[in-house]
Structure 1
């Protein structure tokens, strides 16, 4: 299975750096704000793409997330990492968009969140094809297991923070990740067995 997880040491270091930028940005420092947004933009895009049922809305949801965050940045005290704080805001932005969409007719209902995630990833880099294959496999997971896997294995979030964000016990997150991993391994094995057969038929 393609390696998608972020090493815990580098993830912790990135979280510390991003949190420092967020704290510095509270006073309106434009450089700090720019670093804060740039450091977390990709994580927000990937997370809202996972949560949203409308890939066309991903950019708007990400923008809404940052607008909300910047508007309340003066209240951020660094008790959690800036990434956890921001992804919680992203979750609320997506939930609000779902409530708004449910209150009015929708012309179409597209559930392909994978397209938005694919578009958010740079093409031509090593591992890009593996990343797309992983997204295909992730689509087969139940939503709660997929969220736990995305948060901890793809975004590198500590289990405790993922549990706080998902509003469930740490043990539940660990169980969901373990089950997601087992399912992905089984699906990958099936895909690898099917590939030679498909080539033989071709």
Structure 2
């Protein structure tokens, strides 16, 4: 059953902030050659990177390759990471560039299909057999109705948990723009959920 609950708009929780501090510490340690820290860093953010690139790209078969490309770029650039932002925001910025570069590369070649199928890729990255999984899939399905920029802002802040300032840095736009996009995305999703529940009630 689909519920009307959307992720609550709020800043980082203490747990998320603590995790981000750990991830950033691992990235800095990995920069110094700590192989265990490299594994911790990659393992902690691999799923977030997959989810993010899945929302940005239109080819579900490219998600794993884009995630791998993101980490290869990040590990090759770790010597330039100084911890001024969280490692999560830094890595998602790299993921965004990887997707953009893949679009530019693909633009030079004909594509078999232009049908966006990003939600399939996202669903494949979601944990199954857990409470709320069906609601999560329903929400991902509704996200297809959002413009790309609003969907990206919603995913970064409401699903991946980035604060608005870091989401703005990842998206390369002002923080006020991110707040506006998220607010409009939430309003649209609430309307769509209300419409879906009305149809469900009528059908019942």
Q: Taking structure 1 as the reference length, what is the TM-score of the superposition?
A: 0.94
2:185 to 180, 190, 197: 180
User: How many residues matched?
Assistant: 199
Are the aligned partners of 2:151 and 2:185 in contact in 1 as well (CA < 8 Å)? yes
**1:71 positional shift:** 0.9
Partner of 1:78: 83
**1:109 positional shift:** 2.8
> Which stretch shifts more, 39-48 or 160-169?
160-169
Runs of 4+ in structure 1 off by over 4 angstroms are none
Are the aligned partners of 2:93 and 2:169 in contact in 1 as well (CA < 8 Å)? no
CA RMSD of aligned residues (A): 1.4
Partner of 2:142: 137
Q: Taking structure 2 as the reference length, what is the TM-score of the superposition?
A: 0.93
Are the aligned partners of 2:11 and 2:163 in contact in 1 as well (CA < 8 Å)? no
* 1:112-170 CA-partner distances (Å, limit 9, x unpaired): 10000000011101111110011011111111111111111111101011111111111
Instruction: Determine helix, strand or coil for the equivalent of 2:115.
Output: coil
Residues 110 and 56 (structure 1), Cα distance of their counterparts in 2 relative to 1, 3 Å cut: farther
Partner of 1:69: 74
Summarize the alignment of residues 39-188 of structure 1 with structure 2, pairs less than 5 Å apart. Answer: 39-188=44-193
